[in-house]
Every structure is written in structure tokens, then in C-alpha cells.
Amino acid sequence: HYTFFPNAPRWPAEKTDLTYAFLPDNGLSDSVKAVFSRAFQKWAAVIPLTFTETSSYGSADIRIGFYRGDHGDGEPFDGVLGTLAHAFSPPTGRLHLDLAENWVVDGDVTSSGAVDLESVAVHELGHVLGLGHSSEREAIMYPTISTGTKKVDLAGDDVEGIQVLY
């Protein structure tokens, strides 16, 4: 079953068109940006919110960046595997990924230690929107994923949870 963060924070009701931006320093490829675009659309398909990329990082609602080790928010990354990424509850909009991972973008995720970017992006966006972890193994918001796995489609439980919030 789905959960929320304590006190069920969500993006404010009057804010239905959210913007997102990528950390300019990362110089991300179009294929990485396309993965996030697809991940946003999974959620946008089931709730009345839209997500639009903006180039003004400073004023974006949701800020996405890859960082290594200690990056100043008290939640340092730990190198290969362990923590892959984290996101903060609404309306913070921070989504950080560990630069040290062997990220796979649209590719073969079965090689050892590979982490599928889209699977992690869909999961972290669930946190950005206000979902906590689910007890259902099929859910995107289930707290673990096997390495070498791709899981990018929302389960009924994810949809129910996000539709309760929005």
C-alpha cells in the first residue's frame, strides 16, 4: 500500500503547471533529458499536473542534478551502489542522483552494477510529488529494486496514491 510523507505535503493546489530544470554544470545529453521527460509523463498521465522543462535553473520548481559524495545538503552520496539518488518532499523540488553510479540510459541494464536511470527517475519523481514508499512489490514506490532491473510503469497502487494527493 502507498504512503505519504508525514503530514502528507503536496504541491499547492493553485500550482498545476510545474517547471523543471537540469543543473547546468552537468551538461546532460538529450537522451538523459528525454528519460526524465518520459518519467514526468508517467505521472502527468494520471493527475491534473503538467511538467515543462525550463532553462532557468534558478527559478524552476523542480531541480535535477547529478552530484558526487558530499554535495552540501547533509545527505552525502556513497559511491557505487548503496544510495542511488534522493529527493525531498514537496514543495522542495530537489532531485539528486549519485554521479558515481553506472547509469544506463535506454540501454542494457543486465550488466553487473548497472542502474536503470528511468526506473530511478520515475521513483524519485514520486517522492518529489509527495509519495513515500509502498509495501507492494510491483509498485514504483517499493523501496528496493534488484540490480539489472527496469521498472518504469506505474502500478495501480502508485496511481491510487498519487490520485489521493492530487
Amino acid making up residue 49: L
Q: What is the spatial distance between Cα 151 and Cα 43, in angstroms, rounded to a whole number?
A: 14
Q: Which grid coordinates are listed for 85? A: 539518488
The interface partner of residue 44, options being Zn ion, ligand TQI, none and the CB cut-off 5 to 8 Å by kind, is none
β-pair partners for 10:
none
Report 27-66 residues binding ligand TQI (CB under 6 A): none
53 is catalytic: no
Q: Which residues, at least 6 apart from 138, have a Cβ–Cβ distance to it below 8 Å?
A: 155, 157
| String marking each residue 83-102 x if it binds ligand TQI according to CB under 6 A | xxxx----------------
Amino acid making up residue 76: P
Q: Which of 124, 136, 138, 160 is catalytic?
A: 124
Q: Is 155 helix (H, G, I), strand (E, B) or coil?
A: coil
Pairing assessment for the beta strands 50-53 and 85-87 based on DSSP bridges? unpaired
Name the segment binding ligand TQI (CB under 6 A); options: 18-26, 51-59, 78-86, 102-110. 78-86
The interface partner of residue 96, options being ligand TQI, Zn ion, none and the CB cut-off 5 to 8 Å by kind, is Zn ion
Report 102-121 residues binding ligand TQI (CB under 6 A): 119-120
Chain residues that interact with ligand TQI, rule: CB under 6 A? 83-86, 119-120, 123-124, 127, 132, 142-145
